[in-house]
Structure 1
């Protein structure tokens, strides 16, 4: 009885308190070297309860559990994580009773007395704390997949005579025309099964609220929209389910064309769901509308664009490359993601080159030119663990960018992300490689990068000390392969699941719906606007433009509801996230300085 009371007392004492009482340091995993166990392990947090156990491959080809390791350097074996902690599963089992309690307690005492616990505390990261029960915890779980209705409803598409081009746009018609009525269901059609409620959208959707906050109270007038015309490439109007575009000026390559193609696909995918709206769209790199120029931010013209920084008031929207970038031979995101996944499986992480890789146009920004100070210099005896390749844009362009297959660039254990003129569309391709992304900090962000968590999806790199920071990250990752692989898997999991085209379209639908709700006037079609539809765009396109349009064309109407838009972040949540991001960077600096 006395022994049982002692066991129960031990189990009721928090683990950290028991460690302090025993005055024993945390157990060192073979993944974490002396001196950085708390910071290093915490950068890549363990799995949450409820997640399926995952295995990763470490050097030597042995499987290792990425969440819990109770191994010493001299005993390389594996352990498997269960849904509940092993001691909790034993003690709460109705069939074990007091026996389970005693046995579990004895094992706890044995481990405490004869071993040291690994510290995988990640509570300083977003969503892993236990104090507030904040909704930010959703960012640690990939949203579930959704099932289409059965049978799927095809989206009609025809170029008429079947030729590859058409001299007359197929969608130009009187502006008073209404969309065709929806087909009535057949009386004999079987009753559809009840669909489960849609999942909550990924947490980066919550920034839609903050993007639109300047106009939340007073709404958006027609005059406010038209004040954005000097900064816009085109004006998009949706009336009665049809899209119309008025073009103001040419943009670089086909950014506007493929952005508009994506909008046409959204309307086909979610017919009747996009409300009437009127907006201005900017296709350039650099943010232009500064909050400092508008003491009353509601007076700023609402302008849609691809990226922003902390000083601008624009509304973010997915960039054109999700539907393809024909000029540089980058396929649409959906099929390219599948190709990258095959390459990842073909070349496992331990077999990749143990360096950090970057390839691109170094001439577009000082940040990229400065990165080349980190190039390997054998003659000077300097090796920063970086393998950097400058792309000759002229030569690559003449060659049709045939040597720039992004799926074949996952041959290195680490990938560097550095901004272009502002943000860079390369970030999603870098994330998808199963290799940790070493992201050089930048103030620029696009719609999804606001959901990336430092220390989980990527390793943050200080731009003021990038060479030493890259070298340290590579050395640390090579010394702790399971943790490095876990970070790579988290990044690619975010790209594959939370950035799937399903969620790209849902983001577009939600931001347009929320924006339309703020309009204080009824949109009408501008006099010089041209109607958009898939046929009018693809049937007249040629070459890679047409190829990528056909490859990214939506074939079926979405047979399910879009994900549910979460509420905006509270001020407390924003402070908490900022503090935790800063804490990760502080710990990286501390580790590097040892």
Structure 2
């Protein structure tokens, strides 16, 4: 039975078009429009656009009483620079030179003004993810106006905005995929959760299932007893150093490092780079590239022990990872090779202990990084950000409405498939998880100690070559 109650058009939308409004007594009855690429044309975009209202009275039993994972609390820290002053329109506009696009959400509709092209399809898949968020939580995303940068490295440097006195400049709020301790960029989930078509990496949900099956194919005790890494060494000095830890006539640092032949892989559609087929090593190395790397979540999900070369950057979830619980810390200096060898030798001698590290990491990705949590993080990040705006968002003159077909239909290739596969088909049956309050200074000190203590312990073991 169709519980949709059609209502006559409610007047023009902000861009002058009429909208179709549907009211549903229960979320479980909602069927959101699908993408119709056959009927797509540039002259008539947003064909699937419709407004949805759900009777919340009938959905009270669907309220979500789950508490968000701890890493959600970093949302408060990322927004702390503006909690006292709020975010003015002038602050926002000052971030334009550092942004790739501007996103405005008004009445549940998204509008985008592009400033520069992003590498590959990063911006398109990021925007696709935001459209899915609007479909997942219709009517719950507040009006907002933000700047977004799709490049690898954060660029809102604290030192540029920390001058003394009343004449110091307020930092512009700019979202991006990663941050570091010297910058103020607001971190946000990266594009690859909806797929990375250029290198044939599936969206996170089906890829997680592939990784689970890959874990089952090879038991940890039967895996290769060395550390594995494959990738592009040309993007950072630390990766170039890692190449020196490879097997040679003089040394066996217990690392097997492979350079990715991008031209050959592209010709073969990256069929030899199936991530699920790489869960055959007891240890997998994570090392940053130009900035942070999206590969971390794939490595953590492999049941292998993640050997994390001392990271400089963080993304939205990594600040809550704990050394010797989720990963084994590796030095990033000239002693890197010794550090890797020690970790592998120690682990092969203490298999039960290091297997627990691998299991904790894969459990983290399966439970705390499942797609529902990614969307909830996006929701809370945008919701908390919107509370700081001191102005009413309006549609910029050069912005256009963001539509499903405009993103999914023109390519008609793997990108289209990934987008269709990740299309949210109905609103969430429950509200987002409950966001915990900000960290206290004591909380932050405890987090620092919780990370520093095991790292110092490992460094002491390495110094003494202790296998206790």
TM-score (norm 1): 0.70
Give yes or no for the alignment of 1:318 onto 2:189.
yes
Report the Cα offset of residue 181 of structure 1: 5.4
Counterpart of 1:433? 302
1:374 is paired with a residue whose SS is coil
Size of the aligned set, in residue pairs, is: 434
**What is residue 32 of structure 2 aligned with on the other side?**
155
Q: Does 1:413 align with 2:282?
A: yes
Partner of 1:127: none
1:216 corresponds to: 83
Relative to structure 1, is the Cα distance of residues 169 and 292 closer, same or farther in structure 2, using a 3 angstrom cutoff? farther
Determine the C-alpha separation between the residues in 1 that align with 2:179 and 2:452.
20
**Structure 2 counterpart of 1:452, from 305, 312, 321:** 321
In the alignment, the residues of structure 1 paired with residue 302 and residue 426 of structure 2 have an alpha-carbon distance, to the nearest angstrom, of 29
Q: For residues 444-474 of structure 1, give each alpha carbon's deviation from its aligned partner in whole angstroms, at most 9, with x where no partner exists.
A: 0000111111110000111122111111111
Is 1:352 the counterpart of 2:227? The answer is no
8 Å Cα contact 1:169-1:536 kept in structure 2: no
In the alignment, what sits opposite 2:370?
500
Q: Where does residue 171 of structure 1 map in the other structure?
A: 46
Residues 526 and 391 of structure 1: is their aligned pair in 2 closer, same or farther, counting only changes over 3 Å? same
Give the stretch that moved more between structures: 272-281 or 193-202.
193-202
Whole-Å Cα distance in 2 between the matches of residues 553 and 411 of structure 1?
Answer: 32
Pair 583,225 (structure 1): closer, same or farther in 2 beyond 3 Å = same
Change in 2 beyond 3 A, CA 1:231/1:192: closer
Paired residues of 2:67 and 2:433 also in contact (CA < 8 A)? yes
The residue that corresponds to 1:490 in the other structure is 360
**1:570, 1:411 → 2: CA distance?**
41
Tell me what 2:311 maps to: 442
3-state SS of 1:310 partner: coil
If the length of structure 2 is used for normalisation, what is the TM-score? Answer: 0.89
Q: Deviations over 1:370-400 (max 9, x none)?
A: 10110011x22x1111111100112212222
Cα gap change, 1:164 to 1:432, in 2 (>3 Å): farther
- Post-superposition offset of 1:351: 1.1
Pairing partner for 1:276 from 133, 143, 147: 143
Q: Secondary structure at the match of 2:201?
A: coil
Corresponding residue for 1:462? 331
Higher alpha-carbon Rg: 1
Q: CA deviation at 1:443?
A: 1.5
**Runs of 5+ consecutive residues of structure 1 not aligned to the other structure:** 1-148
Q: Residues 209 and 169 (structure 1 numbering): CA distance in 2 closer, same or farther, change over 3 Å?
A: farther
Quote how far apart the aligned CAs of 1:525 are.
Answer: 0.6
CA distance in 2, matches of 1:481, 1:513: 44
1:116-174 per-position Cα deviation (integer Å, ceiling 9, x unaligned): xxxxxxxxxxxxxxxxxxxxxxxxxxxxxxxxx88463322141xx628644452289x
| Structure 1, 576-585 or 238-247: larger mean CA deviation | 576-585
1:304 is aligned to: 175
Tell me the alpha carbon deviations over residues 186-205 of structure 1, each in whole angstroms, 9 at most, x when there is no partner. Answer: xxxx9668346421100010
Q: SS at the partner of 1:403?
A: helix
What is the rounded CA distance, in whole Å, between the counterparts of 1:493 and 1:413 in structure 2?
16
Rounded Cα–Cα distance in structure 2 between residues aligned with 1:591 and 1:265: 47
Pair 1:342-2:213 in alignment: yes
SS of aligned partner of 1:271: coil
- Return closer, same or farther for 1:320/1:192 CA change in 2, 3 Å cut-off: closer
Whether the 8 Å contact between 1:166 and 1:540 is mirrored in structure 2 is no
Establish whether residue 554 from structure 1 lines up as the match of residue 424 from structure 2.
Answer: yes
Deviation per CA, 1:275-305, whole angstroms, max 9, x where unpaired?
A: 0000000011111111111026870000000
Match in the other structure for 2:12: none
**Distance in 1 between residues matched to 2:38 and 2:291, nearest whole Å:** 40
Q: Could you say what secondary structure the match of 1:252 adopts? A: coil
Contact 1:303/1:315 (<8 A) preserved: yes
Contact 2:27 2:54 in 1 (8 A): no
State how far apart, in whole Å, the 2-side matches of 1:518 and 1:374 are.
48
